[in-house]
Amino acid sequence: MSVRPWSPEDRGRPTGGTWTDVAFVLGEAYEREGDLEQAADWYRRAAESGRADAAMRLGDVLGRLADEGSAADTAEDLLAEATRWLSGAHDATTPDAIELITDLLNRQLRQAARRGVEPAPTA
């Protein structure tokens, strides 16, 4: 049985895609499936290669992972990384980017409020 090779246009992307495009598409696929950790991994790879929309998606996914997290330290780390990616994105002044950054700030405020209400861990 012959197998047709996968190409970026199979996912509705233009031909001539780069590995950065493939990483971004994989991030989208994992995000749609609800696997936010894998989505973050692939978006991170695309963002590290300079794809601005991947940095935006990564910031959003990391924020949602922080919301799902049970450990406060992990959530803080995820929010800090999300802030770095969103603030460094090339298109950080678009309305969508401003909305994501505002949402991230609200997440950080909620996280800080939880820390203030929760009892300190006992050793």
pLDDT at 82: 86
Domain ranges of the chain: 17-117
The pLDDT of 53-71, averaged and rounded, is 85
| Residue with token string 């994989």 | 26
What is the reported pTM? Answer: 0.69
Most confident among 12-16, 42-46, 66-70, 99-103 (mean pLDDT) = 42-46
Model confidence over 71-114: pLDDT tens digits?
A: 666 888 888 888 888 877 666 667 777 787 788 788 778 777 77
**1.10.10.10, 3.40.50.2000, 3.30.390.30, 1.25.40.10: CATH of 17-117:** 1.25.40.10
